[in-house]
Amino acid sequence: MADDQLGAARDGVAGPDDVQPYLDAFAAIDADPAHVLLVAAHSDDVVGTLQLSFLPGLARRGALRAQIEAVRVRADHRSGGLGSAMVTWALAESRRRGCALVQLTSDKRRGAAHRFYARLGFTASHEGFKLYL
Amino acid sequence: MADDQLGAARDGVAGPDDVQPYLDAFAAIDADPAHVLLVAAHSDDVVGTLQLSFLPGLARRGALRAQIEAVRVRADHRSGGLGSAMVTWALAESRRRGCALVQLTSDKRRGAAHRFYARLGFTASHEGFKLYL
């Protein structure tokens, strides 16, 4: 998270107390089968993450939709196909769970990421709105 | 759902069997406190809906994020402030649950909706990618 151009300012751990919110969030994700946290490891190092969430809804005849968040690949492991492998796994898992669609948002400043998602079959058909509380 | 320019082709109920998927989806939403289905009623008629989901995540120091889906107002109740009232309620509920942000995607063809969300404080900072399975 900290090893990310746009995320560095809002994430990071300065001391032991800063770890607890991340542990609490991990426990919440881990406890709920509607959320899957994919971790890519190289030896003992975490080099990639992806969160996949499954959301019930009434639209599209009550279809389950999958949502991808927190796609991160460590800088020294980029451009080697790891991101593609993680997203491809997410698509297969979404298909296996019977989802009608997979969705994600990507900051408009991440041009390379947009080309990456387009190559994997995603369409930038929507505006992604955010409001920080 | 059926009373919507973009949703008409993908939703709708032709016979009793078509109702079951919606009932199943409603039961899934209703059973999980992470999802709230807001319904606006006028006399005995449903004239508006909004789904609000609360998603755990590791980004932003383990922040909970709120997501708005399925915002629909019946045609004869539009431009009267109902959509604004529903979204404003969703923002207050998201704040109450300690969310760091509220997010939604809106089809790029829905120009009026984009102005509506901008007026409520949302920023179209992201591309919204979809992939239909």
- Per the CB < 8 A criterion, the answer to whether A127 and B108 are in contact is yes
Per-residue pLDDT of chain B (133 residues; tens, 9 = 90+): 556 666 655 666 777 778 898 999 999 999 999 999 999 999 999 999 999 999 999 888 899 999 999 999 999 999 889 999 999 999 999 999 999 999 999 999 999 999 999 999 999 999 999 999 9
Q: A2-58, pLDDT tens digit by residue?
A: 566 566 556 667 777 788 989 999 999 999 999 999 999 999 999 999 999 999 998
Interchain CB contact of B100 with A (< 8 Å): yes
Interchain CB contact of A80 with B (< 8 Å): no
Q: A71-104, pLDDT tens digit by residue?
A: 999 999 998 899 999 999 999 999 999 999 999 9
Rounded to an integer, what distance in angstroms lies between the CA atom of residue A120 and that of residue A88?
A: 8
| B57:A67 CB<8 A | no
Rounded to an integer, what distance in angstroms lies between the CA atom of residue A57 and that of residue A75?
A: 36
Question: If contacts are CB pairs under 8 Å, which of residues 49-68 in chain A contact chain B?
Answer: 49, 51, 53, 55-63, 67
Which residue from A103, A129, A91, A86 is spatially nearest to B103, judged by alpha carbons? A129
Nearest-Cα distance to chain A for B106, in Å, is 5
Report the side by side order of strands in the sheet with B65-73.
A35-42, A45-55, A65-73, A101-107, B123-132, A123-132, B101-107, B65-73, B45-55, B35-42
| B132:A55 CB<8 A | no
Region for B112 from its dihedrals, namely left if φ exceeds 0, alpha if ψ lies in -120 to 50, beta otherwise: alpha
Query: What does the pLDDT read at residue B14?
Result: 74
pTM: 0.90
Bridge partners (DSSP) of residue B65 are B55, B101
Nearest-Cα distance to chain A for B5, in Å, is 13
Query: What does the pLDDT read at residue B17?
Result: 78
Cα A14 vs. chain centroid, distance in angstroms? Answer: 24
Q: Which two tokens stand for residue A5?
A: 């151009």
| B128:A103 CB<8 A | yes
